[in-house]
Amino acid sequence: MKSDNLFELTAEGYLELETELNELKNVKRKEIITALKEARANGDLSENADYDAARNDQAQTEARIKELEYKLEHSKIVDKKKGGVAGIGSIVTVKDEDGDEEEYKLVSSVESDPFNNKISIESPIGLAINGHKTGDKVLVESPNGGYKITISKIA
């Protein structure tokens, strides 16, 4: 989520982006330079698939570096909301109408990783639970129709 043209990140999310940026700048760039040198040594560059692949890898890496630098320069670290209210950084346990429970960490869209239960506050569930308290029943609007969940715990 952007606020005042800033990306809101948890401290953990900021560190993850910073770590990725350092890895790309200090390790991946050197690997690409080595691959380019090796490919150049193989002769004619116009028909050199290894050289083309290394150049493509270089372009993608440089684009990702620029993206990460921009996000880190234009971000603010958000502290978890206090007082039992769900917000960025909160770990929220919800119960659906069948009684099944799921635990999610609310994060910004930049940090979102649904496979690890890190959901964006801009996602349907994130939008529904953001700003609510334990015990609140909320309606989740989804493309397949709405459904209700109950917030059973906020950490």
Domain residue extents for the chain: 2-77, 91-154
For residues 86 and 78, the answer to whether their CB atoms sit within 8 Å is no
Q: What is the CATH number of domain 2-77?
A: 1.10.287.180
Q: List the beta bridge partners of residue 96.
A: 149
pLDDT (tens digit, 9 = 90+) per residue, 97-149?
999 999 999 999 999 999 999 999 999 999 999 999 999 999 999 888 899 99
Quote the pTM value.
0.75
Encode burial over 3-28: b for 16+ CB neighbours within 10 A, e otherwise. Answer: eeeebbbbeebbeebeeebeebeeeb
What is the rounded distance in angstroms from the CA atom of residue 107 to the CA atom of residue 8?
Answer: 8
Q: Looking at residue 84, what is its pLDDT?
A: 83
CATH 3.90.120.10 holds for 91-154 = no
DSSP letter, residue 154: E
Q: Residue 82: its pLDDT value, please?
A: 66
Give CA torsion, residues 9, 12, 17, 21, to 10 deg. Answer: 140
Residue 6: the pLDDT is 86
